[in-house]
């Protein structure tokens, strides 16, 4: 995706009708940066006038997205006419931006300055440059920061919008001074299995590439159902959002219980402004609505298993008038209010006056955290962490839940020390439904710190702490495949850290421990991602003489694990042929079969190539690490080196470390 951008210039001093006042600049930067963080375009193209242009370019640079500056005339003339007219502070930001981008990223036209015609002509130049740089079938979107256009007096930005729309390009508008209605998106996180379509549904891609652009375009102050809600925790912040938001989007794509619960609350508390959306997978023949709500209007959009920019664009176009109509208050959509006399049930709702201060503090901090989590920067998240330390009226259970959300965000951003700090401060009691999540997130924070530390003593300390936490998880009944997968990964790491001269007894003991963890994980959840690790561990155990176990029994277990894993990965690929984890697992299973039968690993090599073509960097790193492990302990260096080269061609050439991710398959691959 390429984004062409433009927007309002910064307000001059004393402007009677604000267009982009100084008080709005920070919020515009946050909104644009968050939008770019979600969309992840390949390139931005635009000018660098004071105000929106510079803010958008700065947001892109913060997100490490390439920016191509296109100026209509000479840099110094543009600086005087379009930048310094709003003050020297804009001149400093302009100069810094040019230094960061460098001459190779700056195009300067030959037109003479100071005529409106030049700027209008430059709009055509921007769109032409984007078209020239776009790859085959690459989408071009236009991002604008402006107030609603005045037909009687169109601006240069309005002209760009008109040219873009005439070309059929999608435009997104952010109004920096508009009052922003409150919105809430009820949907789960991550990739979920939809029992209706029998397919995996990527919730995050739909949110980031459809719902978030839509809500920003409509200037909605949105919140997404948070991780605690998705874990089954119902709290005052979520209920307040459902009760008082002027717009609620309920995504029905995965038959999710929490979404159904939230929808029920909303239909009781609000007569209108609830939009039900059911994405239709193109690869699925099942089009049945998952809930008993066929009598309620539901909006559909088609999408493939891998959501494309074109599908996202078409979904935005179809849903935008629906949401605009709802925000205009022109529709009633609650069957509860249609059937019963509930005229007295009208928002906004105020909290009961007798509620204690802890609930007020919780609601305030949840709203602050929601705003921080929308930001692409960690600084607002860190400020919430400080406020959690100083807030005296907050209940300890609410404080622990909020800290766990902070810890999860820090984990995703590879800020492992900060993640561990929040986890250390947020240990929930044994009866808490957050206990399992806390134990596993804490263990992962320790494990990541161990992997990142160059100090052997620190690595050992974090590994010991991770094992202690996971041992507690097992004792408390959370002995699931994820817990054993993390333990197996720790044992695998400990083998890689063994000195070449280590004795056979110590090596065999660590192999036996790894085998035991992976075996237990597979027994808890017989799936391809648990099975492939058990296949690996069993095969290496047999190569080491059985590690004290009966070799015939190990061979039987190996055959069973191989059969189940092959069957489960085949089903997974029938559900989603482009699933990178399933493709990588299939490739590794072929490699194990080649080793077991002494055959040419060419089919495995080809399978790794197919998987690498669709894998993300963290998935490539996990595959590289697994191959490094096999190369050290099995010695099939030629095949491993060839596969490593295939994987290296798809991503950065670096020593792999198992990535930080919410997907549990990373814990067992």
Q: 259 and 131, same structural domain? A: no
SS3 607: helix
- Identity of the highest mean pLDDT range in 33-37, 187-191, 577-581: 33-37
Domain carrying residue 615: 522-669
> 3-state SS of 167-183?
CCCEEEEECCCCCCCEE
* Dist. CA 75–CA 78, nearest whole Å: 5
SS3 48: coil
pLDDT tens, residue by residue, 575-627: 677 788 899 999 999 999 988 888 888 888 888 888 888 777 667 777 888 88
pLDDT tens, residue by residue, 251-283: 888 777 888 888 888 888 888 889 999 888 776
CB 651 within 8 A of CB 621: yes
For residues 456-480, average pLDDT = 91
SS3 457: helix
Q: Is the pLDDT of residue 669 over 50?
A: no
CATH code for position 20 = 3.40.50.450
CB 1 within 8 A of CB 141: yes
Q: Is the pLDDT of residue 104 over 60?
A: yes
CB 565 within 8 A of CB 595: no
Name the pLDDT band for 525 (thresholds 50, 70, 90): confident
Mutual angle of helices 435-452 and 416-424, in 10-degree steps: 140
SS3 65: coil
Which of 104-113, 302-311, 326-335 shows the lowest per-residue confidence on average (mean pLDDT)?
A: 326-335
CB 123 within 8 A of CB 160: yes
pLDDT tens, residue by residue, 419-431: 999 999 988 888 8
Helix segments in 525-550, DSSP class H: 528-543
Q: 57 and 164, same structural domain? A: yes
Q: 218 and 114, same structural domain? A: no
- The H or E element spanning position 132 is helix 116-133
For residues 57-71, average pLDDT = 94
For residues 88-112, average pLDDT = 91
Q: Is the pLDDT of residue 286 over 70?
A: no
Going from the C-alpha of 551 to that of each of 540, 555, 578, the distances in angstroms are: 12, 6, 37
Torsion of CA 30, 31, 35, 41, to 10 degrees: -70
Q: Is the pLDDT of residue 541 over 90?
A: yes
Residue 450 within a domain: no
Q: What is the pLDDT of residue 404?
A: 87
Q: 223 and 104, same structural domain? A: no
First-last CA distance in the chain:
31
* Dist. CA 598–CA 578, nearest whole Å: 29
* Dist. CA 163–CA 126, nearest whole Å: 11
Q: Is the pLDDT of residue 94 over 50?
A: yes
- The H or E element spanning position 235 is none
Residue 512 within a domain: no
**The two three-digit tokens of residue 635, written as one number:** 């010695």
pLDDT tens, residue by residue, 196-238: 666 677 788 899 999 999 999 999 999 887 655 444 555 667 8
Residue 423 within a domain: no
Q: What is the pLDDT of residue 635?
A: 66
CATH code for position 242 = 3.40.50
Q: 36 and 136, same structural domain? A: yes
Domain boundary among 323, 339, 355: 339
Domain boundary among 339, 373, 399: 339
Residue 223 within a domain: yes
Q: 117 and 258, same structural domain? A: no
Q: 541 and 634, same structural domain? A: yes
* Dist. CA 219–CA 153, nearest whole Å: 23
Q: 288 and 198, same structural domain? A: yes
For residues 185-204, average pLDDT = 76
Q: What is the pLDDT of residue 113?
A: 66
Name the pLDDT band for 391 (thresholds 50, 70, 90): confident
- Identity of the highest mean pLDDT range in 428-432, 495-499, 562-566, 657-661: 562-566
Domain boundary among 339, 364, 383: 339
* Dist. CA 441–CA 463, nearest whole Å: 14
Read off φ and ψ for residue 619, nearest 5 degrees.
Answer: -70, -40
**The two three-digit tokens of residue 519, written as one number:** 């075996």
More confident residue, 314 or 391: 314
Q: 128 and 10, same structural domain? A: yes
DSSP conformation class of 104: G
Q: 202 and 168, same structural domain? A: no
**The two three-digit tokens of residue 183, written as one number:** 């919105």
Name the pLDDT band for 566 (thresholds 50, 70, 90): very high
More confident residue, 333 or 54: 54
Residue 611 within a domain: yes
Q: 161 and 300, same structural domain? A: no
Residue 385 within a domain: no
pLDDT > 70 fraction of the chain, expressed in percent and rounded: 87
Strand order in the sheet with 170-174: 106-108, 66-71, 43-46, 2-7, 140-145, 170-174
Q: What is the pLDDT of residue 657?
A: 35
> Domain tally for the chain?
3
Residue 457 within a domain: no
Helix segments in 274-415, DSSP class H: 309-327, 335-339, 357-374, 379-390, 396-412
Name the pLDDT band for 304 (thresholds 50, 70, 90): confident
* Dist. CA 611–CA 427, nearest whole Å: 39
Name the pLDDT band for 529 (thresholds 50, 70, 90): confident
Q: Is the pLDDT of residue 144 over 70?
A: yes
Task: Tell me what the pLDDT averaged over the chain comes to.
Answer: 85
For residues 37-48, average pLDDT = 95
Q: 77 and 148, same structural domain? A: yes
pLDDT tens, residue by residue, 357-370: 677 787 788 878 87
Residue 623 within a domain: yes
For residues 566-573, average pLDDT = 89
């Amino acid at each position: 995706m390429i984004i062409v951008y433009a927007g309002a210039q910064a307000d001059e001093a004393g402007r009677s009708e604000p267009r982009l006042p100084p008080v709005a600049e920070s919020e515009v930067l946050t909104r644009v940066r968050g939008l770019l963080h979600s969309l992840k375009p390949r390139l931005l193209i635009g000018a660098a006038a004071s105000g929106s242009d510079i803010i958008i370019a700065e947001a892109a640079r913060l997100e490490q997205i390439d920016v191509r500056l296109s100026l209509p005339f000479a840099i110094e003339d543009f600086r005087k006419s379009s930048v310094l007219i709003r003050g020297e502070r804009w001149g400093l930001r302009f100069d810094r931006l040019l230094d960061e981008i460098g001459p190779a990223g700056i195009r300067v036209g030959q037109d003479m300055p100071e005529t409106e015609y030049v700027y209008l002509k430059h709009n055509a130049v921007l769109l032409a440059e984007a078209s020239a740089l776009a790859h085959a079938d690459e989408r071009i979107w236009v991002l604008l920061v402006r107030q609603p256009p005045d037909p009687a007096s169109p601006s240069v930005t309005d002209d760009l919008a008109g040219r873009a729309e005439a070309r059929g390009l999608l435009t997104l508008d952010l109004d920096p001074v508009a009052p922003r209605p409150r919105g809430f998106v009820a949907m789960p996180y991550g990739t979920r299995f939809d029992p209706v379509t029998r397919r995996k549904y990527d919730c995050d891609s739909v949110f980031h590439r459809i719902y978030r652009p839509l809500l920003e375009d409509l200037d909605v102050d949105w919140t997404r159902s948070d991780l605690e809600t998705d874990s089954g925790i119902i709290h005052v912040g979520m209920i307040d959002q459902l009760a008082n938001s002027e717009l609620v989007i309920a995504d029905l794509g995965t038959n999710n219980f929490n979404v159904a619960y939230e929808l029920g609350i909303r239909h009781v508390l609000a007569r209108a402004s609830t939009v039900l959306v059911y994405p239709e997978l193109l690869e699925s023949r099942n089009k049945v609505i998952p809930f008993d709500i066929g009598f309620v209007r539901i909006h559909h959009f088609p999408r493939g298993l891998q959501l494309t920019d074109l599908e996202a664009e078409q979904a935005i176009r179809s849903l935008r008038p629906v949401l605009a109509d709802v925000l205009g208050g022109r529709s009633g959509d609650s069957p509860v209010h249609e059937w019963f006399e509930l005229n007295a049930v009208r928002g906004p709702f105020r909290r009961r006056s007798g509620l204690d201060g802890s609930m007020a503090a919780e609601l305030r901090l949840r709203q602050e955290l929601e705003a921080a989590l929308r930001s692409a920067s960690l600084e607002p998240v860190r400020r919430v962490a400080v406020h959690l330390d100083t807030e005296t009226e907050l209940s300890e259970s609410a404080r622990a839940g909020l800290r766990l959300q902070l810890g999860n965000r820090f984990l995703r951003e590879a800020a492992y020390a900060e993640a561990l700090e929040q986890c250390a401060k947020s240990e929930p009691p044994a009866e808490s439904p957050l206990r399992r999540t806390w134990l596993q997130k804490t263990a992962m924070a320790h494990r990541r710190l161990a992997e990142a530390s160059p100090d052997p003593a620190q690595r050992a300390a974090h590994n010991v702490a991770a094992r202690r936490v996971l041992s507690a998880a097992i004792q408390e009944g959370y002995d699931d495949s994820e817990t054993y997968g993390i333990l197996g990964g720790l044992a695998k790491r400990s083998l890689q850290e063994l000195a070449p001269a280590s004795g056979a007894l110590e090596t065999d003991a660590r192999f036996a421990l790894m085998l035991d963890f992976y075996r237990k994980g597979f027994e808890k959840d017989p799936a391809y991602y648990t099975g492939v690790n058990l296949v690996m561990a069993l095969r290496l155990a047999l190569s080491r003489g059985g590690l004290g176990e009966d070799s015939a029994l190990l061979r039987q277990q190996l055959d069973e694990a191989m059969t189940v894993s092959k069957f489960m990965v085949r089903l997974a690929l029938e559900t989603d042929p482009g699933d990178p984890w399933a493709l990588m697992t299939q490739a590794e299973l072929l490699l194990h079969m080649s080793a077991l039968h002494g055959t040419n690993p060419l089919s495995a090599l080809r399978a790794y190539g197919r998987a690498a073509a669709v894998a993300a960097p963290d998935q490539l790193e996990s595959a590289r690490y697994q191959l490094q492990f096999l190369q050290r302990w099995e010695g099939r260096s030629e095949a491993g080196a060839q596969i490593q080269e295939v994987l290296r061609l798809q991503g950065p050439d670096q020593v792999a470390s198992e990535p930080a991710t919410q997907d549990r398959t990373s814990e067992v691959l």
